[in-house]
Chain A
């Protein structure tokens, strides 16, 4: 009875099923092999965790790093044991170039472009034949957009302050200077004889000299953020350059009441009962006008335009960047704001808003460029030893606002520097003979400490050649510390162009 049952099949059939499953599983393995050996290989073989990369660094001379004028920023020397180590032009450039140390790894461009500098990066086709070559490495030189003299001037201008300067060519996105202070001596980290002591001292230094503040530092922006609010307001058509608010002059004395919170204005008694428009409010940095603008624009549009400018995600750049934010985003209101109080405060840069100096330089650069955001970049050429050259050009990251809106904001920023009332705040940014646009910021930190001093701007206002962001940590009022630094540096750059 059992032997004759129709359900009892011979084993052969189920064994075939098992065979098929095993064959499929091994197919998956072959696929995974292809994924790691071919698809992911170009990325993995340049990783600083690849021991071949580490081993190569001891014997293969790294490519040089040059600035835009051809000045050597990083080169190789040989120590007593015949091992190579890096020597850098000076501390001013350390936060850009970084260091390559056999003991402490890599930072900056030395890390980001490690594969190119050590010569491990190739093309997939070339990699197939690499093993037939006696020297499998092809180190490449990097040419940067940085002007070393401008970079050094920026570091010197910051002096003993902690802070950052970012200078861009607004028409290309080339980064001309990317300074952070305090800085450090990268050569001391790269030199095997001094590496231990130098690195140890830097790591324990309370002023955090290893932190590249321009790209990774996040600060309360204060009034420089008003430019973002203006961009969102004009871009979403919530306001026009002529928009005035009748509540504004009335609230100048007592402050503007938003949901029980009183927004106090900065000190500009000279405007009296005048209802300010965009240019006027920008000239005197009117908190109340910008708070009302922000409320009229709404949280959603403010966030949307901020994200078009690069907020909310790391900026695509040659170096790692921190993410700038308008709000923590965990509120229930539109755009993630907690309530209108937060939105109104954010509109003039005093809520849960944190920005990097690089991000604010992009805001200024976007206005200077007529409303289009360009990708900032540091490396313009990658040159192989054989002479072949890969050029990297600027790229658009998209239009933020149209040209008319950008021009309106630009006009307000000119008033803020050149206007009769604006001069009282930011006279230091003026460049003799050149029409300058800008906005200062005084970021109150709460407590009794000095506020962060900010300035963003560009010049010449009618045909911008340079855009800038300056941050001076606890430097006091924006017009007092940051604006004069910006003025001097822009003047120096424009002079050099002539």
Chain B
């Protein structure tokens, strides 16, 4: 129905003819906001490090700040690289991430170092050093992506390829995943291991941005009536059901309630953002509730999680132990906290909260930095989300808008899910607190998110392709264009 009148420009740029983007002469451009924020971050973290040393040993020596010095050096390098490259990208994101990462570094330096060890070149690195390594890689990674990615064609054009990659990742985890504590989260191939769901969430957002932006007009303008609801055409709801199935699959296969919740929530939010249809959200929530109810009936681990959530104090030394200990940590912290390093040490050689470095960093920080610190950390996440959404709202086209929104939401919703789990607002699920939890997969995946947001925010990137015809007819039109181009090339 639209084949007769394709937009005039569709034939020239809709296909994304690959003009190599030539970098102009490099013209350094100061980033004063970022510089000031970085200075503030550095000052805050140095004060924190001194306070930590004074609490732990009573004195502060420069050697204590070596790890932090390396980290701040990497942040400085990231800033300088962007200045030299003359980028006009967002100036708040990196300092905010830098602050969260720095807090993470101080926390990991303060926890027992033998929680995680890594043998490198004959010497053994402890928790703090390993996390420092990942943090530096993450900052470098985010900055590099922000600098190098100047075009979104590779994301935009291959969305179904990305979807296939995601599904393959999921299947690989199912087949080769090793089970830890009843969850099958870790994929181990040769010497490499990682948590695929961290990468999967980025891939999911890219796919959704492609799908939703391409089909947005149809999703908005055609109605199917279903009782009181006005829905998009049923055929276009299929991806929604597929998403729902994938989320449930993640629960069943990986036993990963947190990732499933994250995927589904981000999907619903993006579907709403793209279409403005509240009915999608309502139906999604109904599906979610139905799915959870059935899951709770069928699977013991789901039911246990929910029961523990409802009343952890029923079994404070058994099933409810982690969450009860987490709440005690918040309570011990009170309004102002005990101070960095002054929280409860190990009790009888054991951590007060098992898995504190991956699942409960917020509780640990709640004890040492108090309610004030927790609210500040939550505020940092909110800043990241709002910057991401701003980038989305200001984006040049639908794809970039939805992509930026999705990337921001991935961080925000994930932070919400685990913080809510720590605070008994939601059942506890094992997702990481972005930029704060220990772990390479999480840090690197979230670095990719920040890197893409930086790239999207850059006012110097390649302009998006002009709108192309949509839907089935659009697909035909595009195929015609492609074959014509191939003929021409031949």
* A contacts, CB < 8 Å to B: 1-3, 5, 7-9, 11-19, 21-23, 25-26, 28-30, 32-34, 36-38, 40-41, 43-45, 47, 49-52, 54-55, 127-128, 131
Which of B330, B339, B409, B412 is A36 in contact with, Cβ under 8 Å?
B330
Q: Are B402 and A41 in contact (CB under 8 A)?
A: no
Q: Map CB proximity to A onto B1-14 as digits: 1 under 8 Å, 0 otherwise.
A: 01001010000000
- Interface SS majority for chain B: helix
A45 to chain B, nearest CB (A): 5
**Which of B316, B352, B409 contacts A18, CB < 8 Å?**
B409
CA distance A33 to B326 in the complex (A): 11
Question: How many Å from the CB of B310 to the closest CB on chain A?
Answer: 15
Q: How many residues of B contact A (CB 8 A)?
A: 63
A367 to B460, CA, bound (A): 90
A38 touches B425 (CB 8 A): no
A12-B393, A13-B276, A131-B338 as given contacts; A33 in contact with B332, CB under 8 Å:
no
- Which of A33, A41, A131 is close to B423, meaning CB atoms less than 8 Å apart? A33
B residues within 8 A CB of A131?
336-339, 342
Beta-carbon nearest neighbor of B269 in chain A = A18
Whether A33 lies near B416 (C-beta < 8 A) is: no
CB within 8 Å for A11 and B393 given contacts A2-B217, A29-B420, A49-B328? yes
> CA separation between A45 and B316, bound complex, in Å?
14
Known: A14-B273, A33-B374, A37-B366. A128 touches B220 (CB 8 A): no
A9 and B327: CB pair below 8 A? no
The verdict on B344 contacting chain A, using a C-beta distance below 8 Å, is: yes
- Distance to closest chain B CB from A368 (angstroms): 39
Is A7 in contact with B371, judged by CB distance below 8 angstroms?
no
Question: Do B423 and A15 touch (CB < 8 A)?
Answer: no
A173, chain B: closest CB distance, angstroms:
30
- Check A7/B220 contact, CB under 8 A, given A18-B409, A49-B316: yes
> Is B381 an interface residue when CB atoms closer than 8 A count as contact?
yes
Q: Which residue of B lies closest to A128 (CB)?
A: B335
Q: With A29-B420, A45-B332 given, is the CB distance from A37 to B405 under 8 Å? A: no
- Write 6 A-B pairs (CB below 8 A) sorted by A numbering: A8-B216, A15-B393, A33-B374, A41-B334, A49-B324, A131-B338
- B425 contacts across to A, CB distance below 8 A: 28-29, 32
Query: Within the assembled complex, what's the spacing in Å between the Cα atoms of A26 and B417?
Result: 10
List residues of chain A with CB within 8 A of the CB of B339: 131
Query: Apart from A18-B409, A49-B324, A52-B332, what are 14 other A-B pairs with CB-CB below 8 Å?
Result: A11-B405, A14-B274, A15-B389, A15-B401, A16-B389, A16-B393, A18-B272, A18-B405, A19-B385, A30-B374, A32-B424, A36-B331, A54-B347, A55-B344
**Cross-chain contact of A15 among B324, B328, B405 (Cβ < 8 A):** B405
Distance to closest chain B CB from A111 (angstroms) = 14
Residue of B379, B382, B467 touching A22 (CB-CB under 8 A): B382
CB distance B327 to A36 under 8 Å?
yes
Q: A2-B470, A29-B378, A37-B366 are in contact. Are A11 and B327 (CB under 8 A)?
A: no
B440 CB within 8 Å of chain A: no
Is there an interface contact between A26 and B371, defined as CB atoms closer than 8 Å?
no
The proximity string for B residues 270-283 relative to A, scoring 1 for CB distances below 8 Å and 0 otherwise, is 00111110000000
The complex places the Cα of A5 from the Cα of B218 at a distance, in Å, of 11
For the complex formed, measure the closest distance between the CB of A2 and the CB atoms of chain B, giving whole angstroms.
Answer: 5
Cβ-based interface call for B419 (8 A): yes
Find chain B residues with CB under 8 A from A128 CB: 334-336
Within B398-414, which residues are at the interface with A (CB < 8 Å)?
Answer: 398, 401-402, 405, 409, 412-413
- In the bound complex, do residue A11 and residue B423 qualify as a contact, i.e. CB atoms below 8 Å apart? no
Given contacts A22-B409, A37-B333, A131-B338, contact A1 B2 (CB under 8 A): yes
A41 to B337, CA, bound (A): 12
CA–CA, A140 and B339, complex, Å: 26
> Which residues 460-482 in B have Cβ within 8 Å of A in the complex?
467, 470
Query: Which 6 A-B residue pairs are closest in the complex by CB-CB distance?
Result: A44-B331, A41-B331, A32-B423, A37-B371, A36-B330, A11-B401
A83 vs B272: C-alpha distance when bound (angstroms): 62
Q: Which residues on the B side are within 8 Å of A11 (C-beta)?
A: 273-274, 392-393, 395, 398, 401-402, 405
Shortest distance between the CB of A240 and any CB in chain B (Å): 50
B307 beta carbon closer than 8 Å to chain A = no
Contact B273–A15 (Cβ < 8 Å): yes
Q: How far is the CA of A11 from the CA of B209 in the complex (A)?
A: 12
Complex contact A44–B327 (CB within 8 A): yes
A7-B221, A18-B269, A44-B331 known; A33 vs B393 contact (CB < 8 Å): no
Whole-angstrom distance between the alpha carbons of A22 and B388 in the complex?
12
Closest to B469 in A: A2
